Chains A and B, each alone.
Chain A
Amino acid sequence: MAPVTSKRLPIVNDNCALRRNVAVQPYGRCSVCSLKLRQCHAWQSSAMSFVLVMMILAPLFVHDAWAVKLTVATSLVLLVVQGMANHKKTDDLIFGQHELAQARTNLEAQVAARTESLRQTNIALARANLELEELARRREKMVLEVSHDLRTPLTSVKGAAQNLLDGIAGKLDESQREYVEIVRDHSERLIGAINKLLDTARQPEPTVGLALAPVDLGVLAKDVARSLLPIAEERGVALEVEVPATDDTKTVADADKLRKVMENLVGNALKFTDRGGSVRVAVAKTGAEVRVSVEDTGVGIDEKDLSRVFDRFHRARSEDRPGSGLGLAITRDLVRLHGGEVTVNSRPGKGSTFSAILPRTAA
């Protein structure tokens, strides 16, 4: 026999003489409560019931009358029924406690699993960060090396060309001078380009910020539509803007970034709408938000592509329409930067509706 251990379930009452059992420890071990015997009400109640049964039976020792027997029998039945009712309540309570203990154990396991998952994510992020740092370091090194290797000979080429032009190697005729001037000028341009590349490489990483200012999205939508109208006319697609005069469509946002959002959405709609179709831009106030909807009668998006439409470099229909697959991803990021969200509804062959929902206050 194995020695007693309570490590598997630490809340074992080893002193429970009632021997209430559960699945993990079927032999006389209460794996639920942690009371000692003298604290156990069930034990005290059962012991009292035991004494009561003996007392109820006592009259039968000395009296043989039917009335006594009837009284004893009735008392016994009452005691037993009452005892069973109490016993069931106690068991339900203990069973509930056991389930609670099990739930606690499960919760602890879930928390442990989640913690482990977060730890793994942190490790992956740290690794990615280190890799990015290494990539940045390599990029900088490469740019410096390349620029050095290019600039040094180019400077020599430029110097040599200038020497030729200065007549150090003899007088040049007009045609020769013209060619040498081309060599010198292009060398200068190349050196300038390399210097620019170096400056760019030495600049700190760009940060994306918002230049917040009051913006009327209705006015902005009309402006964007006006700028894209030539493309719509060229493609034979009707472009219209609907802004209710009663709605206040002003918000506090970065006008340039929202212009980019609208240009992407409307440009996309025009790109995927065939000749004879239409694109409608609607701006409306909905509670504390302003919704910019771009609805088209274009080719629509298949259901399988709908969930990936905002993924970077994902292109649902790339065969006949040019694009990088970045426009919608950038659009979503720009809208999220404002604290908003972009949604899409689409039916293949019927058209799509993209909505940018923006808060009316600053993000």
Chain B
Amino acid sequence: MLSALDKRLQYGPGMRVQRMAEALFLIGAFFTGDIHLAYVTLALTILQALSPRFVPFALVVSLFVPEPKEHRLSDLYFDFAGTRGACAISIFVQGGGIWLVSNGHEILGYAILSVPTASFVLAPTVGFCCGCAVYVGMRDLLARAGVVKRYANGACDIETTAHRQ
């Protein structure tokens, strides 16, 4: 069952603002050339990999926005395992990009950083989360191979049994 906070995070605009803020820090790094801004996004991503409820911008927004009566389609930018899985993948990508920029490989580093940047830009606007897609796809492959179990809710894995028949 979702707690009241979970509902506010899932159905309200909080996670949209969170993703926009993360995108802005990364874009800031692109425009200013200051890689330290990317550290902020990385830190925010690590927090969410630890717990999907560690979302400071979303929590602040949820304090001021009334609880939504019903949510629109595409309001979902928050779920337990999906967010954690996507953020865990993103940590490696961002970490790699930041490490490359910090060690003089700026073009390659920023090229890699453009992947999470694009994801953070598109997630709150068009509802497309690259990390989520990769996570879901990977879990599906692992589930097909019998390595992991399938779950209906919370894990965001792909059920393919019905389509196989």
Q: Which A positions have Cβ atoms within 8 angstroms of B? A: 1-6, 14-15, 17-23, 25-28, 32, 36, 43, 45-47, 49-51, 53-54, 57-58, 60-62, 64, 69, 72-73, 76, 80, 83-84, 86-87, 91, 94-95, 98
> Which chain A residues border B89 with CB–CB below 8 Å?
none
Evaluate contact between B117 and A57: CB separation under 8 angstroms.
yes
Evaluate contact between B163 and A53: CB separation under 8 angstroms.
no
Q: Closest B residue to A28 by CB, please name it.
A: B156
Given contacts A23-B70, A73-B31, contact A14 B126 (CB under 8 A): no
Evaluate contact between B128 and A46: CB separation under 8 angstroms.
yes
Evaluate contact between A53 and B121: CB separation under 8 angstroms.
yes
What's the minimum C-beta distance from B146 to chain A, rounded to whole angstroms?
Answer: 15
Evaluate contact between B156 and A27: CB separation under 8 angstroms.
yes
Bound Cα distance A25, B107 (Å): 42
Bound Cα distance A2, B154 (Å): 11
> Which chain A residues border B59 with CB–CB below 8 Å?
none
B33 within 8 A of A: yes
CB-contacts of B136-165 with A (<8 A): 136-137, 150-156, 158-163
Given contacts A4-B159, A6-B162, A53-B121, contact A46 B152 (CB under 8 A): no
Evaluate contact between B126 and A15: CB separation under 8 angstroms.
no
Evaluate contact between A95 and B118: CB separation under 8 angstroms.
no
What's the minimum C-beta distance from B25 to chain A, rounded to whole angstroms?
Answer: 14
Evaluate contact between A21 and B156: CB separation under 8 angstroms.
no
Could you list 16 examples of A-B contacts with CB < 8 Å? A4-B152, A19-B129, A23-B70, A23-B71, A26-B153, A28-B136, A46-B126, A53-B118, A54-B114, A54-B118, A57-B114, A60-B31, A61-B107, A61-B111, A76-B121, A87-B126
What's the minimum C-beta distance from B6 to chain A, rounded to whole angstroms?
Answer: 10
Evaluate contact between B31 and A20: CB separation under 8 angstroms.
no
Q: Which B positions have Cβ atoms within 8 angstroms of A? A: 2, 10, 27, 30-31, 33, 70-76, 79, 82, 106-107, 110-111, 114-115, 117-119, 121-122, 125-130, 132-133, 136-137, 150-156, 158-163
Evaluate contact between B72 and A91: CB separation under 8 angstroms.
yes
What's the minimum C-beta distance from A97 to chain B, rounded to whole angstroms?
Answer: 10
Bound Cα distance A62, B33 (Å): 11
Given contacts A14-B159, A50-B128, A87-B127, contact A27 B117 (CB under 8 A): no
Evaluate contact between B119 and A50: CB separation under 8 angstroms.
yes
Evaluate contact between B125 and A80: CB separation under 8 angstroms.
yes
| Extra pairs beyond A28-B82, A62-B107, A91-B73 (12, CB < 8 Å) | A15-B163, A18-B128, A19-B82, A28-B76, A46-B127, A50-B119, A50-B122, A50-B130, A51-B118, A57-B30, A86-B126, A87-B125
Bound Cα distance A86, B136 (Å): 24
> Which chain A residues border B153 with CB–CB below 8 Å?
1-2, 25-27
> Which chain B residues border A91 with CB–CB below 8 Å?
72-74
> Which chain A residues border B128 with CB–CB below 8 Å?
18, 43, 46-47, 49-50
